[in-house]
Amino acid sequence: MEEQKRLEEARLAEEAALALAEKEKAKSRAALEHAEAAQRIAELEAQKRINAEMKALKEAEEKTRMLSSLSQPDCRYRKYTIEEIEVATEYFAQSRKIGEGGYGPVYKCYLDHTPVAVKVLRPDATHGRSQFQQEVCACPEYGCLVYEYMSNGSLEDCLVQRGKTPPLSWQHRFRVAAEIGTGLLFLHQTKPEPLVHRDLKPANILLDRNYVSKISDVGLARLVPPSVADNVTQYRMTSTAGTFCYIDPEYQQTDSNGKPPMGLTHHVERAIERGAFREMLDPSVPDWPLEEALEFAKLALKCSELRRKDRPDLGKVVLPFLNKLREQAEESLYNSAQSCTPLSPCHSQVSMSKDDMSYPPSTQSSIGG
């Protein structure tokens, strides 16, 4: 019995020792895992710091490059010699002249087998030379800017039907609005600092042969500091720039001569309140989708609010709505094209153009900016 008791005690002692060893081993494993986890966290934090430093350095370099490009005369753009410009314009022949802009005459010609508009800077318009830092394609030694030739002129000319241009359909109007919004959002999201156009208006929206829009006259564009909050407008003013009725109401009122443009927005608001919004629609377009046009007008009124914080966000509110309108417009154009037959041709503004190389007479003034 004594022997059996000693054996049992020895067995229990062995089991206790094994349990203790297992417990210590588990503690050791836990401590090791904790140390490894702490090391991984430390490595991740170190990597985050490195990434943040690299990002800050990259943004600083980008900002330096951008500011340098805006201040230095040798910007990256396509350059033409004065001889190339003279030959293309037949030595600035009067027959090649298509308009007169704010800084000088505009000529139509061909460069690199491409129709272009050449804006010539007058010698007395020296203040306009800074625009060369913000434009593309130039003959810098003689002050010439070369633009893509937009055969359907400006949005303004199409809307008021200058030069007997055909009415711009609601489908094209919706699509152009979405394209403009997309272009603006791109400018506003430019890194490291966003850009504001400062003179966006129908005369500065040009249309190509397929009525695809492009924003022009970026010479007034200004960098906006990234520190400015979304609901705050910061001013770094020298003098008010832009076309009065189209610039930001808050922006224009910082100048002593600023007055809020009460015309069109006032009439649209009153028409909506009276239930007479249809009267505000362009009568040259017979098939307006009234509900969508009304919602579009209401959104436009919100965008014209005096204070920035009262206006809808371009990327989150305005552009998604405009893209829905664009989808509806493109679907309508597609359905119209599908309904055409050889015996009943469609006269679509997208596909029909008798002379893609000619501006309507009245679009000449809009090219020169």
Tens-place pLDDT, residues 36-82 = 999 999 999 999 999 999 988 888 887 776 666 555 554 556 788 88
Between CA 276 and CA 282 the distance in angstroms is 13
Highest averaged pLDDT of the listed ranges 28-42, 270-284, 328-342: 270-284
Give the pLDDT confidence score for residue 235 in this predicted structure: 41
Between CA 89 and CA 87 the distance in angstroms is 6
Contact status, residue 369 vs residue 147, Cβ threshold 8 Å = no
93-107, 340-354, 355-369: least confident range:
355-369
Higher pLDDT, 263 or 337: 337
Give the helix/strand (H/E) hosting 68. helix 2-71
Q: How far is CA 156 from CA 112, 192, 296, in A?
A: 29, 33, 19
Give the pLDDT confidence score for residue 359 in this predicted structure: 36
> pTM score > 0.75 for this model?
no
Q: How are the residues of the chain apportioned to helix, strand and coil, as percentages rounded to the nearest 5? A: 55, 10, 35
Domains of the chain, earliest start first: 82-148 (3.30.200.20), 155-339 (1.10.510.10)
pLDDT tier at 225 (50, 70, 90 boundaries)? low
Catalytic residue among 199, 208, 282, 287: 199
164: left (phi over 0), alpha (psi -120 to 50) or beta: left
Contact status, residue 110 vs residue 80, Cβ threshold 8 Å = no
Higher pLDDT, 261 or 39: 39
Tell which residue, 195, 183, 124, 173, has the closest CA to residue 285.
173
**What 3-state DSSP class applies to 108?**
strand
- Residue 199 known to be catalytic: yes
Give the pLDDT confidence score for residue 138 in this predicted structure: 56
- Beta-carbon neighbour count of residue 16 at 10 Å? 10
Tell me which residue has tokens 């966003």.
194
pLDDT tier at 120 (50, 70, 90 boundaries)? confident
N- to C-terminal Cα separation, the chain: 115
pLDDT tier at 219 (50, 70, 90 boundaries)? low
